[in-house]
Amino acid sequence: MRHFQEQLQSLFQKIVLMGTISESMIAWAIRGLIERNDSLTRDLFDKEQEVNRLQVEVDEQVVTLTATQQPVGPDVRFLFMASRIAGELERIGDQAVNIAQNAKFVLEAPPLRPMVDLPIMADAAQGMVRDSITAMIERDCRLAERVLRDEQKVDAFRD
């Protein structure tokens, strides 16, 4: 049983690491775009590979633990949650890379207007990732609900 708990903790730590990396990827992508500095965006590709690798590890570990430990109750819920969260964090990393790739086109053109809303939107998105991970670590349902409400604010910038 102790070994199983250690494996769950390892899984948990991988998800926290993925969240930290994904959050930083948002910052780098936006900063590179705003500062018109493509050297900042180049580092994202290495980070994306790390997030992708971690997602594969999380999913493999979830499958292995589910098959070998036959978890029940909170443990099985955590395993499925871990897989879903890892997938979402990997997607966030992909989106940061998409921003960086599209930034190349923006960087080649003269600036049209200052990007006022973009840093605000990026800060909100980073905060959502950070708060999501914190809510998971602290098992804070209220904070998780706040993240859902904050999503509407970020969507309002896009619309």
Is there a contact between 26 and 96 (Cβ–Cβ < 8 Å)? yes
Q: What does the pLDDT look like over 85-130, one tens digit per residue?
A: 999 999 999 999 998 888 777 767 776 566 677 888 888 889 999 9
Q: What does the pLDDT look like over 30-72, one tens digit per residue?
A: 888 887 777 777 788 889 999 999 999 999 999 999 999 999 9
Is there a contact between 82 and 15 (Cβ–Cβ < 8 Å)? yes
The pTM for the full model equals 0.85
List of residues 6+ apart from 92 with CB closer than 8 A: 22, 25, 26, 129
In order of their start, the domains of the chain are 2-158 (1.20.58.220)
